Amino acid sequence: MRTDPNLPPAGSRTVDGWFVTGSEFPSDPIERLVHYARLAPSIRNSQPWKFVLGSSSIDVFADRARWLSVADGDRREMHLSLGCAIESLRIAADFGGYGTGLQYFPMQSDETLVARVSVALGGPKRADPAADLLRSMLTRRTSRKVFDTAQPVGDKDKSALYSCFEVGSVSLHFLSERTALDALAALETRADAMLFAKPEYRAELAHWVGRGALGTSWLMSKIGQLAVGYLRGSDRIAREDTERVASAPLVCLLTTHHDQRVDQIQAGEAYMRIALVAESRDLRIQPVSQVLETPETRAGVAEIFGLGERTAQHLFRLGHAEPEAGPSTRLPLDSIMVRMARTG
Instruction: List the one residue out of 70, 269, 242, 71 whose CA is nearest residue 166.
Output: 269
Give DSSP secondary structure letters for 278-328: HHHTT-EEEE--GGGSSHHHHHHHHHHHT-TTPEEEEEEEEE--PPPSSPP
- Could you tell me the smallest distance in angstroms from the CB atom of residue 79 to ligand FMN? 9
Query: Could you give the C-alpha distances from 122 to 26, 151, 153, 231, in angstroms and in order?
Result: 20, 43, 38, 59
Q: How far apart are CA 282 and CA 330, in angstroms?
A: 23
Q: Which stretch binds ligand FMN (CB under 6 A): 6-14, 139-147, 180-188, 247-255?
A: 139-147
- Residue 124 is classified by DSSP as P
Instruction: Give the x-and-dash track for 76-95 against ligand FMN (CB under 6 A).
Output: -x--xx--x-----------
- Count of residues making up the chain: 344
287 touching ligand FMN, by CB under 6 A: yes
Q: Which of 144, 202, 281, 298 binds ligand FMN (CB under 6 A)?
A: 144
Instruction: Give the x-and-dash track for 155-194 against ligand FMN (CB under 6 A).
Output: ----------------------------------------
If the CB atoms of residues 79 and 116 are measured against ligand FMN, the closer one turns out to be: 79
Instruction: Give the x-and-dash track for 224-263 against ligand FMN (CB under 6 A).
Output: ----------------------------------------
Q: How far apart are CA 302 and CA 308, in angstroms?
A: 7
45 touching ligand FMN, by CB under 6 A: yes
- Could you tell me the smallest distance in angstroms from the CB atom of residue 206 to ligand FMN? 16
114 touching ligand FMN, by CB under 6 A: no
For the chain, the straight-line distance linking the first and the last C-alpha, in angstroms and rounded, comes to: 37
Instruction: Give the x-and-dash track for 289-328 against ligand FMN (CB under 6 A).
Output: xx-------------------------------------x
96 touching ligand FMN, by CB under 6 A: no
Q: Which stretch binds ligand FMN (CB under 6 A): 43-51, 176-184, 245-253, 303-311?
A: 43-51
If the CB atoms of residues 53 and 288 are measured against ligand FMN, the closer one turns out to be: 288
- Could you tell me the smallest distance in angstroms from the CB atom of residue 93 to ligand FMN? 20
Query: Could you give the C-alpha distances from 240 to 180, 243, 290, 333, in angstroms and in order?
Result: 18, 5, 17, 39
286 touching ligand FMN, by CB under 6 A: yes
Q: How far apart are CA 104 and CA 82, in angstroms?
A: 11
**What amino acid occupies position 340?**
M
Q: Strands 13-15, 284-287: parallel, antiparallel or unpaired by DSSP?
A: unpaired
Q: Strands 250-256, 57-62: parallel, antiparallel or unpaired by DSSP?
A: unpaired
**What amino acid occupies position 241?**
D
- Residue 225 is classified by DSSP as H
The footprint of ligand FMN (CB under 6 A) covers 41-45, 77, 80-81, 84, 141-142, 144, 216, 286-290, 328
